[in-house]
Amino acid sequence: MSVVQEIKEDLIGSALSKIEEAENLLDSLKCYDDLDGMQKLSRKIKQELNFLKKIYKSSSIKKEHLQCSNLTHFSALVGVLRNTENCQCVNKPFNLDDRKIVVDMICDGGLLWIKVVARNPKSLSQICMGNAGYGVRSILDQAEEYLDCAQLYPCLFQTPQIRFVFANGIGTKLCSKLESMGIVVEGERLDNVDDNLEFDINPTSELSSGNTSRIRKVNLDVSTLLAYTSSVTNGSCMKYVFDVPVLNQQAEWECVRPVKTLLDAFFKDKKLYSCETAIESFREILHVVGGPNEIKRGEDFIETITVLPDDATVEDTEDHEDNEFFNSVQFTPDKSLPIGGKVKERSLIIFKFGDRIQAVTVTSNDGFVRAAKQQGIHFVVLVHESRALTEQKETTKARLK
């Protein structure tokens, strides 16, 4: 038998195996007929099955046909479904800006969203490094979409938890990055598959502007006001184990990389400013989510800040001499940044305020900073890790260590 014939025989065998897999998968779904979205999932599997049968009968099987099959993903999804309790829906679509996000599984009455990932772990890491075709989104891009979408569809006044299940495992670096974003990760952690990946693990992000030491004015974003007054940044990071995974993650980071220490060092000998929108938003969040000590700490912090109108300019500040540094980076009238995605109206007001008064905007909103950079707008920023208000959760969603 020639090499060509051997390859063809192997492809035929692989196609038969996938046909059998698809048929078995359809049989296994019969017990889930009443599950919302299952009929749609079954139709997709049938489409894959019909396609495989068609190319098998025509003897026109190519390796690409088998590699591009979605059957691997469907098999992984059903495997996770079998081991998951309280699933209410599969393949649930949600609107996010101008596109749809399809969530593989909705569980716990809507409080848990699950995405199943069956891709090869090395491939996941390579895509994150940019080694993919145009338009291919990395798992980090998908994570941001899930997180953004979950914010738009709260359940019982709570943002749904996002869980990514990696059927074939995930590299340790990529896993840590996803967890730092607030994603709960399930799947085998694999060493050495993403050694070439580089993620920032320092207290300040690679998005932070350089050469800002001579700028003596600081513009405080809402995220920084929250981080500075949080209980977790003021001594409680080693005291509690939270029921909420992202709060545990932030507490662990705080033990290693204390944000308030970073901010205090940066604020030294500088003048602190905030716009009215930032202060109003901060106070609103503080008095709803904050505990009594966080509220007092926050109000005391506001007393140290010069609050100016949203449309203030450099002339309204104490140090109102133009800084040449801003001439090459500032948000000039000929530039625009449309609202949408990571660019929220409140954030745009706050960042433009900092730009006009020629201050370094301190923030943990890396999504906004990155979205602006992608459109050619480089705000002067110090980007730090995020910290949430935790005092209320310490009494209701945590236990002492």
Task: Give the residue extent of every domain in the chain.
Answer: 1-69, 72-199, 217-400
- Cβ proximity of 341 and 148 under 8 Å: yes
Strand (E) positions, 212-369?
Answer: 217-220, 240-242, 271-275, 306-308, 360-363
The fold of 72-199 is Trna Endonuclease; Chain: A, domain 1 (3.40.1350)
CATH level 2 (architecture), domain 217-400:
3-Layer(aba) Sandwich (3.40)
Containing H/E element for 110? none
Say if 72-199 and 217-400 have the same CATH topology: no
pLDDT confidence of residue 274:
98
Mean pLDDT along residues 106-127: 91
Mean pLDDT along residues 318-329: 64
pLDDT confidence of residue 13:
61
pLDDT confidence of residue 4:
47
pLDDT digits (tens, 9 = 90+) for 227-263: 999 999 999 988 888 888 888 888 888 888 899 988 9
Determine which of 98-102, 151-155, 178-182, 297-301 has the lowest per-residue pLDDT on average. Answer: 178-182
- Cβ proximity of 372 and 378 under 8 Å: yes
pLDDT digits (tens, 9 = 90+) for 152-185: 888 887 788 899 999 999 998 888 788 777 788 9
pLDDT confidence of residue 351:
95
- Quote the tokens at residue 241: 């184990």
Residue 155's beta-bridge partner residues?
A: 158
266 burial type by CB count under 10 A (0-12 exposed, 13-18 middle, 19+ buried) = middle
Determine which of 12-16, 52-56, 155-159 has the lowest per-residue pLDDT on average. Answer: 12-16
CA 371 to chain centre: 13
pLDDT confidence of residue 159:
80
pLDDT confidence of residue 3:
47
pLDDT confidence of residue 47:
86
Confidence of residue 348 (pLDDT cuts 50, 70, 90): very high
Q: Is the pLDDT of residue 68 over 60?
A: no
Question: Regarding predicted confidence, which is higher, 246 or 330?
Answer: 246
pLDDT confidence of residue 389:
94
Tell me the C-alpha distance between 239 and 393, whole Å.
Answer: 12
Question: Regarding predicted confidence, which is higher, 156 or 39?
Answer: 39
The mean predicted confidence, pLDDT, of the chain is 84
pLDDT confidence of residue 49:
82
| Highest mean pLDDT (candidates 119-128, 168-177, 357-366) | 357-366
Cβ neighbors of 276 (< 8 A, separation 6 or more) are 307, 308, 309, 310
- Cβ proximity of 351 and 379 under 8 Å: yes
pLDDT confidence of residue 331:
62
pLDDT digits (tens, 9 = 90+) for 190-234: 888 777 766 544 456 667 887 777 789 999 999 999 999 999 999
pLDDT confidence of residue 290:
94
The alpha carbon torsion through 219, 220, 221, 226 (nearest 10 deg) reads 180
Fill in the DSSP letter of residue 214: T
Confidence of residue 32 (pLDDT cuts 50, 70, 90): confident
Q: Is the pLDDT of residue 9 over 70?
A: no
pLDDT confidence of residue 51:
79
Tell me the C-alpha distance between 33 and 327, whole Å.
Answer: 63
